[in-house]
Structure 1
Amino acid sequence: MSKSSSRFSPKQLFRLFAKRERPPRTLWSRLVRLLKIAGAVALLFLITIAGLLLYLRSQSLPAAVISQSSQMYDSQGNVMDTFLAGENRKSVRLDAISPYLVQATVAVEDQRFYQHFGFDLKGVARAAFVNLENRKAKQGASTLTQQLARNLYLSHERTWKRKLKEAAYTVQLETTYSKDQILEMYLNQIYYGHGAYGAEAASRLYFGKPARDLSLAESSMLAGIPKGPTYYSPFNNMKKAKDRQKLILSILSEDGYITANQAKSAFAEILSFRTLGDGQQEGFAPYFRDYIRLMAVDKLGIDENLLNEGGIRIFTTLDPVAQRAAEAAVAEGLPQDSELQAALIAIDPRTGYVKAMVGGRDYKQNQYNRVLAKTRQPGSSFKPLVYITALQEGGMTPLTPFMSEPTAFTYDEGRYTYEPHNYNERYFNRNIDMRTAIASSDNIYAVNTIMAVGAEKVISMARKLGIESELDPVPSLALGTFPVSPFEMASAFSTFASAGTRAEPTAILRIENSRGEVIYEASPRKEQIITPANAYVITSLMESVFETGGTGNRVSSVLKRPVAGKTGTTAADAWLVGYTPELTAAVWVGYDKGRTISVSESHKAAPIFAKFIEGALESVPPKIFPIPEGVVSVYINPLTGKLANAACADEQRLETFAAGTEPTEYCADVENGPDNDKAVHQGEGAGTLGEQKRQSWWQHLKQWWDS
């Protein structure tokens, strides 16, 4: 064999090498290799972070963002409020702020403020878990430093670019200033509501004293406001403000800063608040303005700082003519030397647009908006919700009879008894129909109706009509014994006025940012809740309230147009909820503390309603309620509930029905037969002479139209 033939070619040597078995890699060697890689990555990460920190440390912080006034417009395009007008700010040193307020602020906003480096990773994880558990953004994790960076240097738009800038400025703040300096800037920058920026201005606004003198109770109240100045201001909602104060005191107690007894005493302390005096901007329609702020922040998710300083424009549904009429009606309708309060809310039933809102007699003295208060019993003004349920789902008609006499009702399989009474123990002591019951506000008829229809069905109907307050399926529900808000009542009655279609109440039409870009536009829902025929029937029945014998008759001379509605009176409340084809209004009168109202005070709601309706619609020609298809009107004999003819012509009235529910039998046989019947049925006479004298001009017009 030759020497050359014993050699391997390079290709053969590679194959032999590749087939050799390599020694197995041990677990330890693999772990060492992974640790080396991880160490290299960590070192690279630390070098990058260090470089980034050094870079940010060398950069100057930008100039603070210049606040831009946000404006609110009414439905005619007039500026009705400028949010930044009257800005109240005064900076003080940290040691000039009560340590109670400092500690309370840290406790509720950023408990790990002195431990983290601008970002609370533990807080982020906790917030992420809570939000995941609730499937919505329920808890945030922004630190005080992040909030300060956002308020000083950035707009409040929710973009990734802004978040990255916020993170960078947070690092710069933490590397440039001490914790106490950051806290001092924060407490001088944060917004406390009603134009007050910073702890010093807020302390003087709410309590009339410098921030250094705030007590534990005052500090814990004040510290809760920045989370949502509109939502937690004691001027706007004392209950929510007290709930948040209780939370802050419990955190301070758990952290050992105060004792449990101190927390309990501070919560029980009666705080002495200043009233919003002449130095505060009341603005036009102040209760409506506060409602808009609440809706923008709470429902639409608009950042409150953006609302106050971002130069946005909010276009609302407020009608300045209606608002002025509402304010004038409330001012003139309440005694000047009394603590009697009132609330008025007006809605256009065709669109659901809120046209006017008055939440009390004097905004500067008390900012509590009674229009939204779900604390007042509606009394008999709730009855139409029972009657529409009976008409729509209970098989009843305007002629369904019930005996008006003292009655004991048993319910819940006989376990309970309910004995309602009529006002002043006045009863007809005979069968009456639905029109008579509504006009006279007969309680026995209303309870008979809910017993026949079922309270559960009434509650279901109330929910569809916009009543969200708690209602229990008991007989007394028919008499309005469960508290609701004037806002809810106006929304419900608007459905009657709009042929059974409920338009979702709307107050904000559009919001634009400082560049004119639309960031929100309303698209209110509409839903047919009641048939148009039944909506017209209940409207026709409620027109009787303002006629002779009706509980609202005393203001009929003020009303110059067709109006339907219902009064309601309890020991502590007076109501009138009513409407025209163009406007629905709910008026409540009473005392804040539920004090009993006098007989004369119980009559205040109706005149306020009447004056408002005529003032708001002064330039609008009177209109009858449109009569939809499926409605028939026939002359009936109210004593028998049958069609009227010559045999009972002395007792007859024109009654309205959903087609197919009107009576078909006559009150009695007559010798002249059908011709005589037909004459009366078709309305050749307009009822008895006595009825003609009592009927208003629009009733004659309706009768002419029907015939």
Structure 2
Amino acid sequence: MPNTPDRQPKRKRHFLAIFKFMLGMFVFSLLAIAALLGYLYQTNLPVADTDRNSRLLDSQGNIIASFSASGRSYEPVPLDQISPQLIEATLAVEDRKFYDHIGFDIWGMGRALLVNLEHMDRSQGASTLTQQLARNLYLSHEKTWSRKLKEAMYTAQLEMKYSKHDILQMYLNEIYYGHGAYGIEAASQMYFGKSAKQLDLAESALLAGIPKGPTYYSPFNHMDNAKSRQQIVLSSMAEVGDITQTEAREAADKALNFKLQSESKVTVNAPYFRDYIRNLVTNQLGISEDQLDHGGLNIYTTLDSHAQQAAEDAVAKGMDPTSDLDTALISMDPRTGYIKAMVGGKNYQVNQYNHTLAKTRQPGSSFKPIMYLTALSTKAMTGLSTFNSEPTLFHYDNNRKTYQPSNFGEKYLGEINMQEAIAASDNIYAVNTLMKVGADKVIDMARKLGIVSPLQSVPSLALGTSPISPFEMASAFSVIGNGGKRMQPLAVLKITDAAGGNIFQAEQESEEQVVDPAAAYVLTHLMESVFETGGTGNRVSSLMKRPVAGKTGTTNTDAWLVGFTPELATAVWVGYDKGREITTTDGHRAAPIFAQYTENALSNVPPKIFTIPSGVVSVYIDQQTGKLATANCPEKKLEVFIQGTEPTEYCTIHGADLKDPATPSGNTEDKRGWWSDFKRWITD
């Protein structure tokens, strides 16, 4: 039927209405999109878990670890600290149009949509780096439409709020590379033992291929898959012109030097110290677990990263990784109480128990200096006081009980003085000392030095039979090394919130003089003999290039070396968790760990002698008689005493000349001699 004239205006009106509707919808869509974009721009992104984590900082303000409920540590590196070839490889295989799109690959999404509609599922994806970053930072990996919608929103916000440089940097620090390695720096260190900046082309291509399937493409799990994926990455780089085909072939054929998988575990810096801080701030400083994990706090600590690395290196070198034998090392600055290094065991991933805090280990002979300090402080004995080292039956508790100790290897030295007893770790001399001064006074001294563990008032206390933690032992020896002044051990200096506001500030307690400085120095002088000829620590004396005082300790189940320099007081323990007896070889591991750690931790610190306080005198002693030496005495030795306890009689068996060869006159003050004056001048 032919069109009549009145139908044409109706058709025009119909088309015009459709056009107006479509135009209106288009304008409305533009306005809606503009409103949505404006809303997204004004709306803050969710806080990423890695941004919420509180951070642990060392004494120099460097981040050493972070706190999170998962235990993951986030340690980003800037883009300029990542190999350019790794960046090119990642972009070539993951997102070639990264610098051209606005967060979405429209053509890729269209292809993926058709595939998904054809198969009626959501298996096909076309994620850009920005989309992957949004998913990793804020969302789960479940395949739901609601998650996809949120991902799109967060992707748009990331593109609005951050530059391409920032997005790429965040992505490379966030993406998972398998075996617990988040971020390219952790992955590079784990697989190749080098920083991300040092990666070459072959290494970069292999790592860039892993995120597509961290388990399937792991060279540790499936080397063939990893190499196949590497070739795909190299081909992609050649296609976009980053490298030539020749360079791609050469890189694919290059042999890669991987770290052994057993040595390639991702570890947290100072993990035992991190756990110690977690427990400290949540139990003593009033910070909740949730605040620690998600509050974005900055926790400034006393840890010295150089000393901590020295401690970890010494433990790694000194311990057998295949043995069940474990260890602990705790070190603090005697002058401040600052905890400088803490290693709670040889392998945190195997055993998270912090042995530095274990109050179940017997210190053995390393406890003896506390007893000798008691004897010196009360002036009941001097370094020249003698006992006969021989099998002895001791009676105590009003003669109702007996105790018969023995020396290691049944070796008895006869009449010996305190210095000889300390050097040789003579047990008979030690028990004689405790019986002379009284066990209760020794316990009182231990309390002054900071030991809080229960101590039994029995003769065997002299041999360290009451369990004490390595932490307590290091703290006690730090008092001796600090001239008898006690500083409370300190680990946290301050805590700030995410905005930088102070929420905790440590107040360093004033030092407390708990021991006579002269007594502390005399004991220090005697303890230096442990590292001299005949001393139980002599085998590591060649490793020590500075004045050091200490004491070894060995029981059936534990081996110790606790000692100090003017700058560091350190306790090293070695033993088995299940109370298994140690062998002679096991017992010899503590001393080398102590020596290597001390030297390396102080590698940038010049050697320094211990400061001589007032109230100390130095005199030459005839070694045969223990009296003041004369010019005719063939064997003289310079000894130190608390003023007023030094010998006053001269040796009379080596001739009639009674003049002290070390002094121009015979008065007591002059008996300190030139050596004492010289050392005092050096240390003042």
In structure 2, what is the equivalent of residue 471 of structure 1? 455
In structure 2, what is the equivalent of residue 601 of structure 1? 586
What's the TM-score, normalizing by structure 1? 0.59
Stretches of structure 2 lacking an aligned partner (at least 5 in a row): 1-44, 73-179, 181-261, 666-674
Aligned CA distance change for structure 1 residues 699 and 486 (closer, same or farther; 3 Å): farther
1:586 aligns with 2:568: no
Map 1:279-678; keep pairs closer than 5 Å: 282-429=267-414, 431-525=415-509, 526-647=511-632, 649-668=633-652, 673-674=657-658, 677-678=659-660
Which amino acid in the other structure matches residue 678 of structure 1?
A: D
Provide, for residues 105-155 of structure 1, a one-character-per-residue CA deviation record: whole Å limited to 9, x for no partner.
xxxxxxxxxxxxxxxxxxxxxxxxxxxxxxxxxxxxxxxxxxxxxxxxxxx
Aligned CA distance change for structure 1 residues 333 and 281 (closer, same or farther; 3 Å): closer
Provide, for residues 181-220 of structure 1, a one-character-per-residue CA deviation record: whole Å limited to 9, x for no partner.
xxxxxxxxxxxxxx9xxxxxxxxxxxxxxxxxxxxxxxxx
Which amino acid in the other structure matches residue 553 of structure 1?
A: N
- Contact kept, 8 Å, 1:85 with 1:281, in 2: the verdict is no
Aligned CA distance change for structure 1 residues 77 and 704 (closer, same or farther; 3 Å): closer
Provide, for residues 350-373 of structure 1, a one-character-per-residue CA deviation record: whole Å limited to 9, x for no partner.
000000000111101110000000
- Contact kept, 8 Å, 2:629 with 2:661, in 1: the verdict is no
Q: CA deviation at 1:593?
A: 0.8
- Alpha-carbon RMSD across the aligned residues, in angstroms, is 2.7
Distance 2:527 2:399 in 1: 33
Distance 1:388 1:643 in 2: 23
- Contact kept, 8 Å, 1:635 with 1:681, in 2: the verdict is no
Distance 1:682 1:470 in 2: 51
Which amino acid in the other structure matches residue 513 of structure 1?
A: D
What's the TM-score, normalizing by structure 2? 0.61
Distance 2:379 2:64 in 1: 47
Q: CA deviation at 1:451?
A: 0.4
Give the match's secondary structure for 1:329: helix
% identical equivalent positions: 59
1:679 aligns with 2:661: yes
- Contact kept, 8 Å, 1:558 with 1:611, in 2: the verdict is yes
Map 1:132-281; keep pairs closer than 5 Å: none
Distance 1:560 1:670 in 2: 37
Give the match's secondary structure for 1:557: helix
Provide, for residues 73-113 of structure 1, a one-character-per-residue CA deviation record: whole Å limited to 9, x for no partner.
0001100112138578xxxxxxxxxxxxxxxxxxxxxxxxx
Give the match's secondary structure for 2:660: helix
Aligned CA distance change for structure 1 residues 705 and 289 (closer, same or farther; 3 Å): closer
Aligned CA distance change for structure 1 residues 87 and 484 (closer, same or farther; 3 Å): closer
Aligned CA distance change for structure 1 residues 295 and 416 (closer, same or farther; 3 Å): same
- Contact kept, 8 Å, 1:397 with 1:661, in 2: the verdict is yes
Aligned CA distance change for structure 1 residues 331 and 479 (closer, same or farther; 3 Å): same
Distance 2:266 2:310 in 1: 21
Q: CA deviation at 1:638?
A: 3.1
Give the match's secondary structure for 2:432: helix
Aligned CA distance change for structure 1 residues 523 and 681 (closer, same or farther; 3 Å): same
Q: CA deviation at 1:64?
A: 9.4
- Contact kept, 8 Å, 1:71 with 1:314, in 2: the verdict is yes
Q: CA deviation at 1:320?
A: 0.5
Aligned CA distance change for structure 1 residues 372 and 699 (closer, same or farther; 3 Å): farther
Distance 2:613 2:400 in 1: 44
Give the match's secondary structure for 2:647: coil
Aligned CA distance change for structure 1 residues 69 and 355 (closer, same or farther; 3 Å): same
- Contact kept, 8 Å, 1:394 with 1:453, in 2: the verdict is no
Q: CA deviation at 1:283?
A: 1.4
Give the match's secondary structure for 2:543: coil
Distance 1:466 1:519 in 2: 28
- Contact kept, 8 Å, 2:485 with 2:515, in 1: the verdict is yes
Distance 1:655 1:319 in 2: 36
Distance 2:566 2:420 in 1: 23
Which amino acid in the other structure matches residue 530 of structure 2?
A: V
Aligned CA distance change for structure 1 residues 485 and 699 (closer, same or farther; 3 Å): farther
Which amino acid in the other structure matches residue 591 of structure 1?
A: Y
- Contact kept, 8 Å, 1:394 with 1:452, in 2: the verdict is no
In structure 2, what is the equivalent of residue 223 of structure 1? none
Give the match's secondary structure for 2:574: strand
Distance 2:420 2:411 in 1: 13
Distance 1:577 1:699 in 2: 27
Provide, for residues 652-680 of structure 1, a one-character-per-residue CA deviation record: whole Å limited to 9, x for no partner.
21100111111110121776544xx2225
Distance 2:304 2:492 in 1: 12
Aligned CA distance change for structure 1 residues 682 and 495 (closer, same or farther; 3 Å): farther
Aligned CA distance change for structure 1 residues 701 and 590 (closer, same or farther; 3 Å): farther
- Contact kept, 8 Å, 2:69 with 2:293, in 1: the verdict is no
Distance 2:428 2:383 in 1: 16
In structure 1, what is the equivalent of residue 57 of structure 2? 73
Aligned CA distance change for structure 1 residues 573 and 565 (closer, same or farther; 3 Å): same
Aligned CA distance change for structure 1 residues 681 and 365 (closer, same or farther; 3 Å): same
Give the match's secondary structure for 2:281: helix
Stretches of structure 1 lacking an aligned partner (at least 5 in a row): 1-62, 89-194, 196-276, 684-697
Provide, for residues 599-642 of structure 1, a one-character-per-residue CA deviation record: whole Å limited to 9, x for no partner.
11111100000000011001111111111111111011233221
Distance 1:324 1:581 in 2: 20
Per mean C-alpha deviation after superposition, the further-off stretch among 507-516 and 490-499 is: 507-516
In structure 1, what is the equivalent of residue 67 of structure 2? 83
Q: CA deviation at 1:524?
A: 3.0
In structure 2, what is the equivalent of residue 126 of structure 1? none
Distance 1:427 1:347 in 2: 36
Distance 1:500 1:573 in 2: 27
Which amino acid in the other structure matches residue 625 of structure 1?
A: F
Number of matched pairs: 441
